[in-house]
Structures are given as structure tokens and as C-alpha cells.
Amino acid sequence: MGKFLRLVKGVPRSFDESGTPTIYDERLTIVSGAPANSNEMTGPVNAGVNVTLPDSGTYTGLELQIYLNGDRLESVADYSYVGGSPPRTQVQFTFGLVVGDAIDFVIQRGP
């Protein structure tokens, strides 16, 4: 449990967080050689290949946001969730990834 600041009628107030919010922000880079760590994947990567979230990331569904080279992707049109019951660790893209692509996986704190 932690604390956070919120403006209330223009005055900063301290609030306690309930529980432990999940925050995830990791980048996966497509490289031409062998990956140096879990934040790299050898490319090119064909459409439909399972891509594992870096650093043991997991998601349960729609809270996962994915960006390709800074542009936000849309689920179903650009990628699909892989696996049965959550938590899941992989996605599949509907298009190929090329060397130099940077994919950001983001889960933001809820309201």
C-alpha cells in the first residue's frame, strides 16, 4: 500500500492506495542478432507468431495497451490475446514485425 497526491478543489491532498495496483511499462525491440535480454526478440517476426511480454509481464485482458513505434495499436485489428485463462503472457500480431521495431506494452493504474 502506498500514498498518492490528488488535487481536490485546487488543493493537493494525500490519499492511501487500496491494494497494490499493477503498473507495467516495458519495451520489446526486434533485433537482427541473438537477443541480449528478455526485452529483445530476433526478427523479422511473421504475423501470427506468439510474442511474449518482456520481463515476465502478465495481463488479464483489455487493460493491456500496445504501441508500435509510438503508435497505439487496436486489439483484434492489430493484435490478439493468446492463451486460455488469465493471466496471459503472450500476444499475436496480425502483421509482421521488422528489425528495428519497438513494441511498448503498457498497463496503467486504474482510476
Q: List pLDDT tens digits, range 56-87.
A: 999 988 889 999 999 999 999 999 999 878 89
Residue 4: inside a domain: no
Nearest-angstrom CA–CA distance, 25 and 66:
10
Cα 25 to Cα 15, 47, 56, 66: the distances in Å are 24, 23, 12, 10
Per-residue pLDDT tens over the stretch 2-52: 566 677 777 877 766 555 556 899 999 999 999 999 999 999 999 999 999
Residue 102: inside a domain: yes
Radius of gyration (C-alpha) of the chain in whole angstroms: 17
Residue 3: inside a domain: no
Q: Which residues contact 25 (CB under 8 A, 6 or more apart)?
A: 104, 105, 106, 107
Domain that residue 31 falls in: 22-107
Residue 73: inside a domain: yes
Residue 17: inside a domain: no
Residue 12: inside a domain: no
**Alpha helical stretches, state H, 13-75:** none
Count the neighbouring beta carbons within 10 Å of the beta carbon of residue 58: 14
Residue 14: inside a domain: no
Nearest-angstrom CA–CA distance, 66 and 26:
10
- How many domains is the chain partitioned into structurally? 1
Quick one: which of 31, 27, 35, 107 has its CA closest to 69? 27
Residue 15: inside a domain: no
